[in-house]
Amino acid sequence: MEKPPIDNQGMNKKKDILENSIKNSGILKVIKNSKIGKIARGVTTASALFVGAQNLEAQISNSEGSSIANKDTVALNINNSLLPEDYLIPKNYKDWSSVQRKIQTDPESLLKNKIDNIRLNLNTVDGQKNAAKYKEFLANPDAQIGEINEQVQRNREIYNKIDTEVLRMAEQIKSEDYLHKLMTEFNITEEEAKKHQLVRLSNLLNGTYSLRDSKHEDPHFTVNSFNGGGVETVVDSNIYTADHEILGHKSVYGRDGIPQSTKDLFINSYNKIDENTPSFQESIKFFNENEKDINKTLKFLNDYYGRPQEQYARKKTLDMEMENLGIKKYGDKFTQETFIKLMQFYKEGKLSKESTHFIEITKPEYFEKIFNDISQTNDFGKTYYHPGWDYNNDQNNQT
């Protein structure tokens, strides 16, 4: 079976980007010197080993034409370093998405998968409805090779695009601004914050993700879940769903890696959805078809979108999107002028669904605090301070 060509030039370029970014991050020195003492629950751990290089190899080897890296490129030499396992995705978790990614990027696997699914569905309502089409397919599956190759090529292009976005996520996590905000969020020293920074980078790069396909009938379906001793991350072709699921959820181990000070800020800033909230009209209609009760539907939506981990994931999406649109780079101060620019994109309908949702479920007076501090002021009165920002000329400073 003829397979679509592999973009080796693009793959090698992105491998070099990841290798250089990790070497220059300063994280290697921290890892070699780090020792784990008491962690959040007062438990001493000696088992949380970082295996990012091996898992990253497995992630990438599952699909030809992948664009990130392999174990030879990411020579981290940190397998004996100990990390706070409370916030680290366990190394023995299975990567449920890797099998699906392999299927979606290999013509033979995708054709076999289609054949298997059709055979399983022959006796279902769908199978009876499409019996003639399915029988024709099974009679001569090789006739689908051209279409299969085209689908695989499209999938590979999407994976390459999202793999590049994952590199951008890694750059954000490794930045000085991200590190200093971790210090504020957890109220910890820089050395301790570097350990959390490494944990999040490990979570980001360990394992892979897969693309939403026909088995996911719900058009709203993307997911990052930890169940059955494994991790599953499903995104669609829009990079902003990847920002949400991978940077917003997976890097922080769902909700476990988000400190309480950050959760408190999102709880206080939440703006409840009502039946007139613009971007939720489709969701209200979709879920109300089952509930038949607008109050129950709104309660369900607010219970879900009001969770701090969901607000956090949408905030991380907006971080990435504002940079893409030239509104604000990560690490730049969020000002009243930034807010005005952002709202202009919102009013013109130029933002992703994820970012639009964040704007509508966040009280306007909290935007500067969320993007500049990322935590509710803790008991010690500590907030994020950036030496390059002008705090004397704030027009809308948050307290």
**Mean of pLDDT values over 279-283:** 91
Higher-confidence residue: 347 or 55? Answer: 347
Q: Pick the range with the lowest mean pLDDT from 66-80, 119-133, 309-323, 326-340.
A: 66-80
pLDDT of residue 383: 53
Residue whose C-alpha is closest to residue 385's, from 397, 395, 396: 397
Higher-confidence residue: 350 or 82? Answer: 350
Listed in sequence order, the residues at least 6 apart from 22 whose beta carbon sits closer than 8 Å to its beta carbon are 28, 74, 76, 170, 174
**Mean of pLDDT values over 301-326:** 96
For the cut 90, the answer to whether the pLDDT of residue 179 exceeds it is yes
Of the pLDDT bands very low, low, confident and very high (cuts 50, 70, 90), residue 393 is low
Q: Pick the range with the lowest mean pLDDT from 241-245, 302-306, 389-393.
A: 389-393
pLDDT of residue 397: 37
Higher-confidence residue: 333 or 378? Answer: 333
Cβ-contact 61, 15 below 8 angstroms? no
**Mean of pLDDT values over 228-242:** 89
For the cut 70, the answer to whether the pLDDT of residue 171 exceeds it is yes
Higher-confidence residue: 133 or 30? Answer: 133
How distant is the alpha carbon of residue 277 from its chain centre?
25
Percent of the chain clearing pLDDT 90 (strictly above)? 47
Residue whose C-alpha is closest to residue 117's, from 141, 83, 89: 141
Q: In angstroms, rounded to a whole number, what is the distance separating the alpha carbons of residues 251 and 204?
A: 5
pLDDT of residue 23: 47
232's enclosing H/E stretch is: strand 230-235
Q: In angstroms, rounded to a whole number, what is the distance separating the alpha carbons of residues 326 and 395?
A: 21
In which residue are the tokens 């790069």 written? Answer: 205
For the cut 60, the answer to whether the pLDDT of residue 88 exceeds it is yes
For the cut 50, the answer to whether the pLDDT of residue 200 exceeds it is yes
3-class DSSP state of 227: strand
Q: In angstroms, rounded to a whole number, what is the distance separating the alpha carbons of residues 212 and 96?
A: 13
pLDDT of residue 291: 74
In which residue are the tokens 């490990």 written? Answer: 202
- The phi and psi torsions of 82 (rounded to 5 degrees) equal -100, 140
For the cut 90, the answer to whether the pLDDT of residue 287 exceeds it is no
96's enclosing H/E stretch is: helix 96-104
pLDDT of residue 341: 97
Residue whose C-alpha is closest to residue 338's, from 347, 327, 352: 327
pLDDT of residue 44: 21
Strand ranges, E, within 156-217? 210-211
Higher-confidence residue: 308 or 48? Answer: 308
Token digits of residue 215: 């088995």
